[in-house]
Structure 1
């Protein structure tokens, strides 16, 4: 299989214009002495919304790598693919986020569940693992329940992985399994049982994205109990280390944090764990580059500012339409959204400060930020007018993109 690097960081680029600016942030971090591998990602849903094709992500990334002389690894992620959507991504991706959320909660064949429970008596009892906050206490009923909840999803992941590996070649594939887009978080004992099922299915998974407790809304900070997240994250790292040693999973297997963008309160917790344990990490920034484009256009003034205001006004008129596909990962109070007329009166810096995620800024408005985050197809409706505006203001827009990734994400996560 293609081995994943220790630290990988997913970057979204809705309109395929910021790969160079994104890569510059990784160059700056490398100058600080920390190597993190960029992974460009874009889901089938996002391609559908903006009318693009998977190949465009690879082409933009490759052009940036060539123009900036990047000699280190990089990847392209077929983000949240399923069997019915994966084929278009296979030629141009080497990282595959296998999304089986739709199968979670649907039971596998009863004989398969019974066989799994019988095959793994070692899961039952009090399990003391290095690094755990407390021993895992697992009953046979727990193993049965988790198998009923997740075994079919793991079997589906195996089917998807084998299709990709057969088509592309296993030595050209990094496999991630995503379990985060579901209602209930997976506890550390559940994660262990899931990993055992993945090992049984012989999927060489290298990153796994569980759902953590708390809210991971798009483009804004984590909402939840920080102490509980600390326990869960550290315990999950310990569970993964145990599963690798005990069940023959790849040594490169690591946690993946989805909707990781702007979870500023979690970054110190994650960094401390990585530094203490030596564990790896994959994290996705959930497309905040699109927001930095709007911020850059606002700061540019003139036609760029006018277009940013137009986009907000249109999004405001279509709140329900744009929010519906993302309802589980946004919390917007419509009463906190300023009117289009109010925003029309703002200067460029005033609009930018409402969207830019600096929590100490009195003008920052998380409700505006979330609405714009999920309204990227408004820009697609403008076609070349929007992308021409990005080109015309490339320096200021690219500067915002680089600064956001480097200063607000990469350094807090990996340097401190």
Structure 2
């Protein structure tokens, strides 16, 4: 397998213009003595919306690392791929987020479930793992239930992983298994059972993305019980450490937090756990860079501000269309979306302050931010007009991108 670094951080770049600005945030952090590895990610769905190809992500990242002299590790993530979509990502990705959410809840053959339960008597009983908030109480019926719910998904992950490894060579592949895009969070006991199944399937998984309790909405802060998340995250870290020792999984195995951008209230919890336990982390962001582009264009004024307003007005007219694919990860109150006429009267700083995620700013509007987050294909409709505007305002847009990643994400997570 391709061995992942301890701390990896996923960055999305919808239009492949901000790789350099993104990388500058990691350079700033490295200058402080903290190495976090950038992972450029983009899903098949996003490529389809924008009309891009997976190779463009690699090309932009490679150009940025060469231009800025980045001599540390970096990766390109084939984000949320399945067997039917992985093909175009194989030549240009080394990190593969294997998404098996569609198979969760579909029953595996009864004899395979029984075989799994029989192979793992160690999962039954009172499990006192180091670092847990309380022992895990697991019955045979619990193991049976979880196997019925997840074993088919794990089998599918194995099939996808072997397809990738056969095509690229296992030494060129870092594998993540994603189970976050489902309705029900996985508990720490369920995570342990899933990890046992992944070991049986011989997947050298290095990051796993469970669904946590609470709302991980796109581009805004976490909504939920912080104490519950703290227990859950810390227990998951303890479960992973135990699974590595018990099942021979890679020692680089770590939690992956999807939709991790802007979860400001969680970063102190995560940072404390990492510092206390020495655990690694993969945290994935995506659409926030596109939002910083809109903020930068608004701040630039002139034609940039005009285009930003046009994009918002179009998104407002197509709320249902743009929100439908992301319904499970956004909460937008349409009554709190200002109308286009109101926004057209704003100057650049006023529009930027409505979108920029500074929670104590009186103008910040989380509903506008979420709508724009999922409306990036509006910019794709503008084609070269949008990308030409990014080029014309490269410095101000890039500064917004760098500040967002460094000041609001990397520093709170890894510095404090």
TM over 0.5, shorter chain: yes
**Does the CA contact (< 8 Å) of 1:290 and 1:376 recur in 2?**
yes
Displacement of 1:285 in angstroms is 1.1
DSSP 3-state at the match of 1:9: strand
**Does the CA contact (< 8 Å) of 2:13 and 2:286 recur in 1?**
no
In structure 2, the residue matched to 1:152 is 152
In structure 1, the residue matched to 2:358 is 358
In structure 2, the residue matched to 1:294 is 294
Displacement of 1:33 in angstroms is 1.0
Alignment coverage as a number of residue pairs: 416
TM-score (norm 1): 1.00
CA distance in 2, matches of 1:375, 1:230: 32
In structure 1, the residue matched to 2:141 is 141
In structure 2, the residue matched to 1:76 is 76
Displacement of 1:286 in angstroms is 2.5
CA distance in 1, matches of 2:50, 2:252: 34
CA distance in 2, matches of 1:200, 1:394: 49
DSSP 3-state at the match of 1:98: strand
Partner deviation per Cα, 1:236-261 (whole Å, 9 max, x = no partner) = 00000000000000000000000000
CA distance in 2, matches of 1:136, 1:60: 46
Structure 2's unaligned 5+ residue stretches are: none
TM-score (norm 2): 1.00
CA distance in 2, matches of 1:169, 1:321: 40
CA distance in 2, matches of 1:34, 1:59: 26
1:36 partnered with 2:36: yes
**Aligned pairs for 1:240-319 within 5 A:** 240-319=240-319
Displacement of 1:32 in angstroms is 1.1
Partner deviation per Cα, 1:138-174 (whole Å, 9 max, x = no partner) = 0000000000000000000000000000000000000
Moved over 6 A (4+): none
CA distance in 2, matches of 1:32, 1:105: 45
CA distance in 2, matches of 1:86, 1:409: 29
DSSP 3-state at the match of 1:399: helix
**Aligned pairs for 1:14-413 within 5 A:** 14-413=14-413
**Does the CA contact (< 8 Å) of 1:9 and 1:283 recur in 2?**
yes
CA distance in 2, matches of 1:347, 1:9: 34
**Does the CA contact (< 8 Å) of 1:258 and 1:286 recur in 2?**
no
**Does the CA contact (< 8 Å) of 2:42 and 2:286 recur in 1?**
no
**Does the CA contact (< 8 Å) of 2:15 and 2:387 recur in 1?**
yes
CA distance in 2, matches of 1:229, 1:243: 21
CA distance in 2, matches of 1:415, 1:155: 39
CA distance in 2, matches of 1:247, 1:289: 38
CA distance in 2, matches of 1:351, 1:33: 36
DSSP 3-state at the match of 1:92: coil
CA distance in 2, matches of 1:160, 1:109: 19
Displacement of 1:181 in angstroms is 0.2
Displacement of 1:26 in angstroms is 0.1
CA distance in 1, matches of 2:350, 2:271: 33
Partner deviation per Cα, 1:151-202 (whole Å, 9 max, x = no partner) = 0000000000000000000000000000000000000000000000000000
